[in-house]
Every structure is written in structure tokens, then in C-alpha cells.
């Protein structure tokens, strides 16, 4: 148990440049406290004590500003940075060593029963204010940009940006940093390309017009 606790603390320190020690993370990080409370609540939930489980999760919500339903399934090493406003729904599933920033919602899209919340693979990063809504999968090593609204599946090793989110594939390897905003947007890239083409064609048209005027004058 202590080895697992140390591994989780070390994984948070590795991903947060502001963290100075295990003690600081253990006692002062609201995201770590919320996940600890979730694990206790989840045990009660799995053993049929659902009222106690919800009581624990609601107390943690009041203390940390992070709401994790005790029915959610969360792997090891989850890091919720800052955390205020994070909501994780009942049927959400989160893989190992994922990172969520403040304001993230892993939610449903209606009143349907059964699986209605998203599943995150391993090493997924979800930027501040992002919303992932629906019972689909976000693949391993995927990144969700800050403020994105994801309504469809995201493949492994890809990023999703915008509202609604558009998927952009990356190099196929786990990103070395936790940058949550500087992603290549294919629509912006295409618009930039079209702008350059229009400028090139305009210059060519001006040159042809000048040649035509010169010939007319001669």
C-alpha cells in the first residue's frame, strides 16, 4: 500500500513543476485528496454501501471542489491539477497516469441508463475547461486541448481541439510535455495555406495585367 502511495506521489511530482516534495502533495494538493477520498468511496460503492459512498464523495466535493462519483473506475496515478470544477460521472473510466486540469467534465449527454460517460485510455491529458461528453473512448496518449468539447471518439496518440472538437493525429509517441494549448489545428493550417495561394495568384495576375497593358500601349 505504501509503495503504491509513493508511486502515485512521485508520478504527480514528475508532472507538476510546482510540487516540491511528497509531503506537500500529500497534505496540500486538493486533487490528490479528492482521489484518495474517491478510492475509499469506491470501495464502499463496490461492496453495496452506496449511501456511505455518496456521503464520502459529497464531503470530498465540498472540501476540494472536485466531484468524483464513487461508481467511476479510475486507474493508478491520476493527477488532477488545481482541480476546482472537475466532474467525473458514474460510468466514467480512466486509465493509468492520466492528467486532468481544472474545469474538466467527463459527463453524459442525457438521461440514458447504462454506460453514458467516456472512457479515457492511459496517459491521457485533458486541458483546462475541456468537456468530454458521451460513452466513447479517448485513446492512449491522447491530448484534449483546453476548452475543447469532445463528442466523438479520439484515436490513440491524437489530439482534439476546438468546439466541437476536431481530431489531429500526432507522431504516434507519447508527448514529452504537458502543453495543453499549443496544438496544430488543421483548419487554421489549411486557411493559412489558402491565404498564401491567393497572395501568389494575385501577384501572378498583377504581373500578367501589367504585361497586357504594356503590349496595348506598344
Contact 123, 98 (CB under 8 A): yes
pLDDT at 34: 92
Letter string b/e over residues 113-142, b meaning 16 or more CB atoms within 10 A of that residue's CB: eeebbbbbbbbbbbbbbbbbbbbebbbbbb
Q: What is the pLDDT of residues 124-169, one digit of tens each?
A: 999 999 999 999 999 999 999 999 999 999 988 888 888 888 887 6
The answer to whether 133 touches 89, Cβ cutoff 8 Å, is no
In the prediction, which pLDDT does 70 show? Answer: 95
* pLDDT tens digits along 97-115: 999 999 999 998 876 678 8
Q: What is the pLDDT of residue 171?
A: 58
pLDDT tens digits for 8-39?
Answer: 887 888 887 888 888 888 888 888 999 999 99
Q: Across the strands, what pairs with 93?
A: 73, 119
Return the closest-CA partner of residue 135 out of 156, 155, 150, 157: 150
| 131, three cell numbers | 468537456
Amino acid at each position: 500500500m505504501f509503495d503504491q502511495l509513493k508511486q502515485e506521489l512521485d508520478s504527480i511530482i514528475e508532472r507538476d513543476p510546482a510540487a516540491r516534495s511528497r509531503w506537500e502533495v500529500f497534505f496540500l494538493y486538493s486533487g490528490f485528496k479528492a482521489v484518495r477520498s474517491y478510492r475509499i468511496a469506491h470501495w464502499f460503492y463496490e461492496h453495496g454501501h452506496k449511501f456511505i459512498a455518496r456521503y464520502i464523495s459529497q464531503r470530498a466535493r465540498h472540501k476540494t471542489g472536485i466531484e468524483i462519483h464513487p461508481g467511476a473506475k479510475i486507474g493508478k496515478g491520476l493527477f488532477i491539477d488545481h482541480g476546482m470544477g472537475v466532474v467525473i460521472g458514474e460510468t466514467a473510466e480512466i486509465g493509468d497516469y492520466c492528467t486532468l486540469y481544472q474545469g474538466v467534465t467527463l459527463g453524459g449527454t442525457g438521461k440514458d441508463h447504462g454506460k453514458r460517460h467516456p472512457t479515457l485510455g492511459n496517459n491521457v491529458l485533458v486541458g483546462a475547461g475541456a468537456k468530454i461528453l458521451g460513452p466513447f473512448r479517448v485513446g492512449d496518449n491522447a491530448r484534449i486541448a483546453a476548452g475543447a468539447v469532445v463528442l466523438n471518439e479520439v484515436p490513440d496518440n491524437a489530439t482534439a481541439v476546438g468546439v466541437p472538437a476536431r481530431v489531429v493525429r500526432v507522431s504516434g509517441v507519447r508527448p514529452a510535455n504537458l502543453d495543453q494549448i499549443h496544438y496544430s489545428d488543421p483548419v487554421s493550417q489549411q486557411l493559412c495555406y489558402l491565404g498564401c495561394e491567393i497572395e501568389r495568384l494575385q501577384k501572378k495576375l498583377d504581373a500578367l495585367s501589367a504585361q497586357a497593358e504594356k503590349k496595348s500601349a506598344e
